[in-house]
Amino acid sequence: MFNYFVATVGKRDVQINRNKINENHLSLIYDGKNWYIKETVSGDIIEIDAPGNNMSDPGENHYTVKKPRIGGKIILKNDLLFSVCEFPIISPVLEKIFSAGKNIKEIKLVYTDQEDEGYRDGDTLYFSTIITKYIEDTFNIPVDEFAVWRSPADIDKQYADFRHKKSLENINLLPNNEEVNEIYLLAQGGIDQINFALTLRLIENYREKLIYYQKPEKGVVCLRDFPFHFIKNLTRNQTIELIKNWEFKGAQQLLASATLKTLCEFASLNIELNYIEAEKLSQDDRIKEIPFIAKYFEEVSKLTDSQFRQLILSISLLHDYYKGEPNNLLWKLRTLGEIILLPEVEEFLGLSNINYNQYDFTTAVEAKIDNGRSLIEYLLTKNEYKIKKELEKGKLTDDYNLLQLIYNFKYIANPSAKKNATEKMRIALMELRELRNELIHKGYFVTLKELENAFHLKKYTIESVQKHIELYINSIGVTTETLQVIKLSQSFCIDMLNEDNW
Amino acid sequence: MKNLLAITLGTRDIQIRLSALNNGNWLHEAINVKHTKIEDLQLPGYMPPGFNDTFCFSQPRIAGKLMVQNYQTIIPTLHFPLLQPVVDFLLNKKIAIDNILLLCTNQEEGFNAGLVKPKDFQNDTLYFAEIVSRYLQEYLLLPKLQVEIYRVTREVTNMDYLYTHFAREGSHFFSIDPEEIDKIYLLPQGGIDHINQAFTLKLIQHFGEKVMQLQQAEGVEPKQLNFPRLFLNDLYRQRRLQHLHDFEFGLLAESIPKGYKELAVAKKLANWANLKLHLNFKELKPALQGLEHKIEPAFLQWLYEESIDTPMERLKALWVMCHIQYLQGNISDLIWRLFTIAENLFKVMLEQLLGWPDTKDYYKSIAKGATNTKWEEFLGEENRKILQSEGVYIDNPNRYTYKTLFFYHYTQNMTESSDEYGNYLQVAEAIELMARLRNQLAHKMRPVDLEDINNVLSELNIKLLELLEIIKKLLSIKNNQFTIIIQHRIYPFLNK
């Protein structure tokens, strides 16, 4: 892993030290209109910007070359002129990097060498070579140079070109990301569009590895954080989108915050019904102080195993509804129904420990009945009159109607039970538990609309089922807040991410 | 949906058209334009090289203030060589502009503290912003509230400060809900490079691909730039490629914003694949609308053929999703799909074997013992007898019905023992074993993992992946099935 330095070369990157003129056979000349520096041995002469001109004054100590192409070419071949050149932008940045104990493997300079005659005077190709010479002589670091020939103000083109830009020696402008430890960028020389395009390309390519420098002409070198925060913000936006879409697993991969990562993990585990792993997070310092999480674990700790299963299925089921996953919702609804209703079956039949690891529970019940009697025969021994009546109606024939029968018994015995919220929920589940099979037989996929229609036929809406579940969960000592733990996790994550808007 | 226009103002954004000064009230001198009747109305400036009819202001602060004070007098002489073509360009494209943000500088505080050079102070564009604001309100008939002036008051070259400044300093512009915004047209050419860059980055970060950057050179047509979208595409490329690699077509489609032309085909294909993987066959053909002329006819034809809703196609798509979820390690979602395959496999195989139509409509929600005449008639006497002899109810089609009939008819036509028959038997047994899993999930509530499934299947000496491979063979699913084809088709778009 290596460090690289990338800079754009502008007109003010090479300047002439004022204090060294009038020495070294150099003199300042003013012809009444323009200003020049003349090297008196060879007679080489370069035009400079008028001293004191606000538009180009680099400061008290320097002159700037008016036409970098012509001036740069002359400086390059004239050692005396070269010896008075200084690099007040690039040099302090390099020194700052070195003073921080960083090494640089390679320096990459971007210059202009335009085809368009109208703009060639301002091209920095020779300035780039001058800086290269200075760097190689002073710091002994290899320098590669990269030309912009066409459309320097076309940011689309520059942005696209920088991706695969090569030097004349066929070296890539962008080093292989895997080899880069840090890449330092000084993008303030020359044309704005080139600077911006290069900045974007380096942000895109190296992300957090990019260290952005600014060097105000008269100020000290500054290290800027905005590329890091820009990337962070973009990632944050993506994370929020994922969380809004209930994609907690995807969000987990993008999150930097350990708390939010763990919270997303917690949400995923609940959605996946993995209560074993979810429960392990009860002692996790990163999330246990979050009020709704603390409440969740406190309430869960008071539940029986069966109730905990009911809760986690309900939580997951609600998530499927929010996310628009009717098929998952359906089988969870059916499963929830079984978990809640089967103890009723056991109680009614006076049987216990029925092994429900069978495909249908009538078979499981029959397996528990002694003497090889059928379920019907067994039921007749429990209440001959009622059972016969049900048999006559043709209703007592499968597991679905077995549950129906049990409920009929219950409500005949205690009609007021039907008004009870808990019972209403059980009735709803009972009535809806076969819905999945019915719908699946009509095709393998149920849309939310079809589910709503099917609910409607049974005189339910998704909201009313949700309400039944909520009331039932409340009745086992769990608050609606805990039932809504996925939704709360979602809001919490989004709020936290929105707060961190650098 | 709103369209927003954001402009950073520079010193040349307002100019005087010299030919408009010919009403006798104005006098143009080399470095001045002055009003002959209003004594104080003297505007210092210059004629830029190469322009004969243009006068620019050398001190925008002073000139701007005078122009604000004499707005009605000066406005007929002004022109906006960068803004006007951009606004007209948008209007010509029938783009209604709902909100405008004008970004300007006012470094008075720093100047008073001696931190800002006089020249920079004089170049402040705060008054230019007021003129442009008033002009655009009148030109576009916009209420005042919809034009916001945003003043950068310090650190005009500090990228860090600027980048954060725009979102933090309470701009109304940044508080508009991105959901309400269709496009943001940005002209970031005026003034200070750092402000332009930081503002552009902030907009890209905040509004993403909705940012449409415009470029306007004096005297030529505005140009719409693509780099914000190219840049975001580059940034998101790796993630999108990862979604594609993982067959997460839904996430991939979601990650591509609406109206992103370069990836519109990729978005549509990803959406189609996602719908098919979720067996949403009803939506498949509508999802292909808009692809005509964008992909070759043969490929479009193939997509339409793959969109035909048949029980076999559904079963194949289910298998493909199961396989993807196996690869993703998403066992809990895989399970219910596997159950659905189990419930339907022999139905589909039987229908295919006997040339039956889809028999799903013969299912009736009736009590056991009741008669389903249509189904019984459809079965015919022979099949009824076969079922009854095996003790299978004939009141409704179910997986036992299909399995029994399938094996009967299959073996009738089978000339010798074949591998295929062995496969069918193995799958039939596996299906029964798999049924345990559902109940395990339902009653023990233990999260089911791959090991659980493989343990159950160990009775048959196979593993889940082998079972999936057997089913694949029985359903004649090609290696190059639809997700692979779509994956290959989308890849070049993402990797441009």
Residues B49 and B95 both lie in one domain: yes
From the list B231, B344, B361, the residue facing A159 with the nearest CB is B231
Separation in Å, CA A131 to CA A76, A125, A186, A320: 10, 10, 14, 62
CA closest to A441 among chain B residues:
B360
Do B287 and B275 meet the contact criterion of CB atoms below 8 Å apart? yes
Residues of B in contact with A156 (CB under 8 A): 225-227, 230
Does B369 contact A212 at a Cβ distance shorter than 8 Å? no
* Predicted TM-score (pTM) of this structure: 0.76
Residues of A in contact with B332 (CB under 8 A): 272-274
Calculate the CA A294 to chain-centre distance. Answer: 27
**Any domain includes B152:** yes
Amino acid at A55: M
> Which of A346, A441, A446, A453 should we substitute to test contact with B (largest number of B Cβ atoms within 10 Å)?
A441
Placement of tokens 């013969």 in the chain: B362
Q: Which helix (H) or strand (E) holds A380?
A: helix A375-382
**Any domain includes B495:** no
Residues of B in contact with A305 (CB under 8 A): 445
Residues B218 and B288 both lie in one domain: no
Does B280 contact A328 at a Cβ distance shorter than 8 Å? no
Residues B165 and B200 both lie in one domain: yes
Identify the band that residue A216 occupies on the pLDDT scale cut at 50, 70 and 90: confident
From the list A395, A434, A501, the residue facing B167 with the nearest CB is A501
Q: How far is A310 from chain B (nearest CA, A)?
A: 9
A35-39 sheet: strands from edge to edge: A26-30, A35-39, A45-48
Residues of B in contact with A275 (CB under 8 A): 445, 447
Residues B302 and B318 both lie in one domain: no
Does B368 contact A331 at a Cβ distance shorter than 8 Å? no
Q: How far is B53 from chain A (nearest CA, A)?
A: 22
**Any domain includes B491:** no
Q: How far is B333 from chain A (nearest CA, A)?
A: 8
Residues B202 and B171 both lie in one domain: yes
Q: What single-letter DSSP state applies at residue B38?
A: S
Residues B211 and B339 both lie in one domain: no
> Which of A332, A357, A448, A498 should we substitute to test contact with B (largest number of B Cβ atoms within 10 Å)?
A357
Angle in degrees, 0-180, between the axes of helices A399-413 and A421-432, rounded to the nearest 10: 160
Does A156 contact B160 at a Cβ distance shorter than 8 Å? no
Q: How far is B217 from chain A (nearest CA, A)?
A: 10
β-strand partners of A180: A2
pLDDT at B210: 87
Residues of A in contact with B370 (CB under 8 A): 394
Residues of A in contact with B435 (CB under 8 A): 359
Mean pLDDT, residues A229-234: 82
Residues B219 and B252 both lie in one domain: no
- Where residue B101 sits, what CATH number does that domain have? 3.40.50.10770
For A110-160, what is each residue's pLDDT tens digit?
999 998 877 888 999 999 999 999 999 999 999 999 999 988 888 888 988
> Which of B336, B363, B366, B441 should we substitute to test contact with A (largest number of A Cβ atoms within 10 Å)?
B336
Do the strands A45-48 and A35-39 form a parallel or antiparallel pair, or are they unpaired? Answer: antiparallel
Does B227 contact A273 at a Cβ distance shorter than 8 Å? no
CA distance A75 to A62: 15
Does A445 contact B447 at a Cβ distance shorter than 8 Å? no
pLDDT at A55: 41
**Any domain includes B167:** yes
CA closest to A191 among chain B residues:
B193
Residues B104 and B15 both lie in one domain: yes
Residues B95 and B128 both lie in one domain: yes
- Apex CA A137: angle with CA A131 and CA A141, to 5°? 80
Separation in Å, CA A168 to CA A68, A77, A144, A145, A172: 21, 21, 9, 8, 10
pLDDT tens digit at each of 496 positions of chain B: 889 999 999 999 999 999 888 777 888 887 889 888 888 888 999 988 878 889 999 999 999 999 999 999 999 999 998 899 999 999 999 999 999 999 999 999 999 998 888 889 999 999 999 999 999 999 988 887 788 999 999 888 888 888 888 766 667 778 888 888 889 999 988 878 889 988 998 888 888 888 898 988 767 788 888 878 778 888 888 889 989 998 999 989 988 887 788 899 999 999 999 999 988 888 999 999 999 989 999 999 999 999 999 888 988 999 999 999 999 888 877 887 887 888 788 888 899 889 999 888 887 766 556 788 899 999 999 999 999 998 888 888 888 889 899 999 988 877 666 677 888 888 888 877 776 666 665 555 566 778 888 888 888 889 999 999 999 988 889 888 999 999 999 999 998 7
H-assigned helices in A44-170: 68-77, 79-83, 90-99, 125-139, 155-164
Do A356 and A342 meet the contact criterion of CB atoms below 8 Å apart? yes
CA closest to A221 among chain B residues:
B158
CA closest to B255 among chain A residues:
A238
Q: Is B461 helix (H, G, I), strand (E, B) or coil?
A: coil
CA distance B105 to B122: 10
Contacts of residue A349, defined as CB under 8 A and 6 or more positions apart, other chains included, come to A365, A368, A378, A379, A382
Q: How far is B59 from chain A (nearest CA, A)?
A: 13
Does B336 contact A216 at a Cβ distance shorter than 8 Å? no
> B173, B202, B225: which is the final residue of a domain?
B225
Does A443 contact B360 at a Cβ distance shorter than 8 Å? yes
**Any domain includes B492:** no
Q: How far is A139 from chain B (nearest CA, A)?
A: 29
Q: How far is A296 from chain B (nearest CA, A)?
A: 19
E strand spans, B14-140: 15-17, 26-29, 32-35, 42-46, 54-57, 78-79, 99-105
Phi, psi of A64 (to 5 degrees): -115, 150
**Any domain includes B238:** yes
Q: Residue A359: pLDDT above 50?
A: no
**Any domain includes B488:** no
> B293, B309, B325: which is the final residue of a domain?
B309
From the list B158, B363, B369, the residue facing A394 with the nearest CB is B369
Amino acid at A295: K
Which domain does B429 fall in, by range? 312-482
Q: Count of A–B CB contacts within 8 Å?
A: 158
Residues B242 and B340 both lie in one domain: no
Domains contained in chain B, number: 3
Q: What single-letter DSSP state applies at residue A50?
A: P
Round the average pLDDT of chain A to a whole number and report it. Answer: 83
Q: How far is B176 from chain A (nearest CA, A)?
A: 15
CA distance A137 to A9: 18
Q: Which helix (H) or strand (E) holds B281?
A: none
**Any domain includes B65:** yes
The 8 Å CB, 24+ separation contacts for B338-344 are B338/B434, B339/A331, B339/B434, B339/B435, B339/B437, B339/B438, B340/A440, B340/A444, B341/B315, B341/B471, B342/B399, B342/B431, B342/B434, B342/B435, B343/A440, B343/B399, B344/A444, B344/B311, B344/B314, B344/B315, B344/B318, B344/B399
- Tokens (6 digits) for A454: 């099917």
Residues B296 and B362 both lie in one domain: no
Residues B266 and B402 both lie in one domain: no
> B265, B294, B309: which is the final residue of a domain?
B309
